[in-house]
Structure formats: C-alpha cells, structure tokens
Amino acid sequence: MSISLESRLPRVGTTIFSVMSQLAQEHAAINLAQGFPDFECSPELLELVYKYMRDGYNQYAPMPGVLPLREALATKIASQYQFSPSPENITLTCGATEACFSAITSVVRPGDEVILFEPAFDCYVPAIELAGGIPVYIPMHYPHYQFDWQMVREKVNSKTRLIIINSPHNPTGALLSKHDMLELEHLVIEKKNLIVLSDEVYEHMVFDGLPHESVLKYAALRERSFAIFSLGKTYHVTGWRMGYCVAPAALTKEFRKVHQFNTFSVHTPSQYAMAEFISKKEEYLRLPDFFEKKRDYFLSAMKKSNFEMFPSKGSYFQMASYKNISTQPDVQFARWLVEEAGVAVIPTSVFYHNGVDEHVVRFCIAKKEETLQAAADRLCKI
Ligand SMILES: Cc1ncc(COP(=O)(O)O)c(C=O)c1O
C-alpha cells in the first residue's frame, strides 16, 4: 500500500547547498558554495570538550542550557552591546537554525504575516509556513542591497506579527546601519504588537571598521526581539550545532515551550567547554580582522577575473556579478561553473521566493588562503 501525503512544505526540495556540495564532490571542484570554514577550530577548545567528556559531563544538560555558559554569554554580551541580559533570558539551542525555528513557532499563528527581506537565508520561510504564517517579502537588489523601510511601512498591517532581520546578511554581505536600526525602532514603537527576530550569527564578521548593530543595543528593540547567535559560526565549529537566543522574559517563556519539545537541550560537554573558552576575548575580537583579510585576499586574487565585485561589508560571503561572462540564468551558470571551471558557488536566485535572477553568485570566503587562491586561479581563466 502506498501512502498518499499532501506535503506540509510542497515547495521545499533538496536545498541548493546539498546540490552544489554534491556536484562539487563529483567534479572534484573547490567548494566555495556552502557557508562553513575549511580551517580548524582552536585545539584548546577541543581539549576542553575532551576534558568535560572524561570528567563525566555526559548526561542531559538543563533545558535552557548550563548556567556557567549562560552566565559567560551574559558577560560577553554586556561587554559588546551595552546591555546586561540575565542568564534567565538566554537559551542554548541546536544551532541558530533551531533558535529561528523555535522563535518563529512560538509567536506566529495561522494567518499572521511575517515580513522578511529577500534574498533571505533559507530556514525562515519553512518555519513560517509550518506555523501557518504568511511570508511578506521586501526585495533587496544588487549591488548595494539596501533595506527599504518605506516598503516595510507600506506592508505592515494589523496582521503583521513578526519582522525578520539578518545582519551581517547572508547571502549579500550587507549590514544594517544605525539609521536602519532607528527606522525599525520607530516602527516597533509606533505599531506596538510587532515582534522582531534578529539573526546575528555573523556578529563578529564585520569589515572596514564598521560596527555590528545588534538589536540588543537598542532599548525599544530588545524589549520585543529574539536576538539569535551561533557559537558554531563564531568558533569555527558549525558541526557542533550550538546557537543561542536572547529575549525578554515573556518571549523567552514561549520560546522555551517550543525548544523543550523540539530538541530539549544541547550537547552537554561542549557547553561546559564553551563556558570556559568564552572568557578568551581575543578569540572573537580578532575575527573582524581575520575575515576581512580573507575578503581582501579573495578580492585581490580575483582582480584579473571578469567577475564584478563590490566588497562585502560583513558575513562569510562575497557576491559577484557574472554579467561580463555569461547571459545564462544563475542556476545554470553555477552548474556550468562547477562542471567546467571546477568551482562551486551558490546562485543568488534561490534566496528569492520568486527566483529573481540578477546574474549574481555567492562565494563563501571563510576558507584558507590557499583554497581562495586556487579558486581564484580557476575563476580568472574564464
Ligand atoms: C543567516 C544565517 N542564519 C542562521 C544560520 C544557521 O546557523 P547554525 O549553523 O548555527 O544553525 C546560518 C547558517 O549558515 C546563516 O547563514
């Protein structure tokens, strides 16, 4: 007997990230597609995890996360964002992905509208749709990818429940400025019932001396925001699946109701290890410079190529227009690139619900210099 199922997510297929990684493997291509580092994390951090495993920290962690880690995160946040959250308002999650899912599921009801900017990271919309919400898209465009607050104001209505922001932005490398934050702050003050989900997983990857504008810096915003972060991104351990959400008491209460029946808690020894490691401020304070050098290295290695690139302002990513190389649609171009040039990238149209194609692809720059050089050598030949 075959089961007939009406999909809850009919538009979701295999993600382009898996498709491109698979193609990269088949063609022995250099993988600048998926957003993960090809360099190792600190050996000291690994030693700490072994230590806590050997010392017997191997059973369920408390549902919100172990207290020493929540305290260490509260201290880190206080030193960065002029705001001291209580550890009671911090919840450890299985990556920022779970935090986004739990946040969206905890506040969005059937028929609620959720505003988000496109191109958008792919985990938001499935969560909105599973909750019965309706995504409302605000487009951003190559090359400057500005956040259009006028359009946001036009779209906000009595059904709008949530606004999702993401800065530094995946895939574009755009940053929300202080001006953007003030626009959002005015809006939420005016429209009392709006909640904000601020995806800040690339908080430490900001370039050219620009600041990261966290919602936590703005009093009226943090009172109604889920601020979401990723320890995986900050400490080069994306496979450990560790993220966290900072939110006021009322939001944290609802958030934890979902989290506890979703993943319940996060890997225990890694939490104790992180709690100890986070006190080493230089580990994250050096990151803007570390990743800016990678961006500059890649831009310089690509100078002779026919791609057009405006320097990314932050994140793991650099966008590039191939309009001087080909008129193919971007998905086709990305396939061609992996097969013929041996470099895997992500076509940007997949980040738009309606497939807007501006002939732009995304490169991940969170790679060793030799990887970036080898990719640039191949790309400069086309
Ligand atoms: C913008 C954005 N948000 C969230 C995530 C998910 O982070 P995590 O790996 O911690 O689940 C990613 C991962 O690529 C991302 O780019």
Query: Which pLDDT belongs to residue 2?
Result: 83
CA 181 to ligand 1 center in whole angstroms: 21
- Ligand 1 atom nearest to 98, measured from its CA: 11
**What is the DSSP secondary-structure string of 130-190?**
HTT-EEEEEE--TTT----HHHHHHH--TTEEEEEEESSPTTT-----HHHHHHHHHHHHH
CA 241 to ligand 1 center in whole angstroms: 10
CA 371 to ligand 1 center in whole angstroms: 22
Query: Which pLDDT belongs to residue 315?
Result: 98
Q: Which of 230, 231, 348 is the pocket-test mutation for ligand 1 (most atoms within 8 Å of CB)?
A: 230
> What is the domain partition of the chain in residue ranges?
16-41+285-379, 43-280
Tokens of 128: 């909105």
Domain 43-280 - what CATH class? alpha beta
CATH number of 16-41+285-379: 3.90.1150.10
Residue nearest to atom 13 of ligand 1 (CA): 35
- Ligand 1 atom nearest to 315, measured from its CA: 16
- Pocket residues: Cβ below 6 A from ligand 1: 35, 95-97, 121, 166, 170, 199, 201, 230, 232, 238, 243
- Ligand 1 atom nearest to 232, measured from its CA: 10
pTM above threshold 0.95 = yes
CA 230 to ligand 1 center in whole angstroms: 7
Residue nearest to atom 14 of ligand 1 (CA): 35
- Ligand 1 atom nearest to 166, measured from its CA: 1
**Residue spans of alpha helices (H) in the chain:** 16-26, 43-54, 67-81, 95-107, 124-130, 149-155, 178-190, 219-222, 231-234, 249-262, 268-277, 282-285, 287-301, 330-336, 369-379
CA 56 to ligand 1 center in whole angstroms: 30
- Walk along the chain (382 residues) and give the pLDDT tens digit of each residue: 688 899 999 988 888 888 898 999 999 999 999 899 999 999 999 999 999 999 999 999 999 999 999 999 999 999 999 999 999 999 999 999 999 999 999 999 999 999 999 999 999 999 999 999 999 999 999 999 999 999 999 999 999 999 999 999 999 999 999 999 999 999 999 998 999 999 999 999 999 999 999 999 999 999 999 999 999 999 999 999 999 999 999 999 999 999 999 999 999 999 999 999 999 999 999 999 999 999 999 999 999 999 999 999 999 999 999 999 999 999 999 999 999 999 999 999 999 999 999 999 999 999 999 999 999 999 999 9
Query: Which pLDDT belongs to residue 1?
Result: 67
